[in-house]
Structure 1
Amino acid sequence: MAQCQHEFHLIKSPYTLIVWRCQTCHSGPHWSIYECKHCKLKVCRDCKDKD
């Protein structure tokens, strides 16, 4: 299986009931998170910037 060439975009929750946790460091809950448009990985800003 090939490594994903992540291409992240910011998604924001329009509701207070929807929040996310980072799938890398498990921080959260976050009102907005970065999602890879290819593999749907959701990461926080800190983990996105570590790349």
Structure 2
Amino acid sequence: MLTSQLHLWDLDKGVKTAVASHSSCEHSFVILKTDNTMVQWYCNDCYAGPGWLIYECQYCRYYRCGTCMMRTTSSMLS
């Protein structure tokens, strides 16, 4: 269990949801994309955007663009 958590209000369910803080999270990213121009995301690392495709951490809702994902992945491999 993560030691520090934030609580976000889930409007769909009307309850608070516990999520990990960004600094203590062991990120696990999934791809989010949209087919319209109503929903757009900004990268939390380089602030690039707005974008229609972004990587979101399943645990803390941290967002990364494709460029930042490639940069962090390549630095982990070397």
TM-score category, normalised to shorter length: 0.7 to 0.9
Which is higher, the Rg of structure 1 or of structure 2?
Answer: 2
Unaligned runs of 5+ in 1: none
Partner of 2:32: 11
Considering fraction of residues, name the structure with more strand. Answer: 2
Alignment of 1:10-49 (within 5 A): 10-49=31-70
Q: How much has 1:15 moved relative to structure 2?
A: 2.0
Q: Over residues 2-49 of structure 1, what are the superposed CA-to-partner deviations in whole Å (9 max), with x where a residue is unaligned?
A: 621111000011321111111110001111100000110011011112
Q: Which stretches in structure 2 are left out of the alignment for 5+ residues?
A: 5-22, 73-78
Cα RMSD for the two superposed structures: 1.5
Normalized per residue, the structure richer in helix is 2
Moved >6 Å (runs of 4+): none
Q: TM-score, normalised by structure 2?
A: 0.58
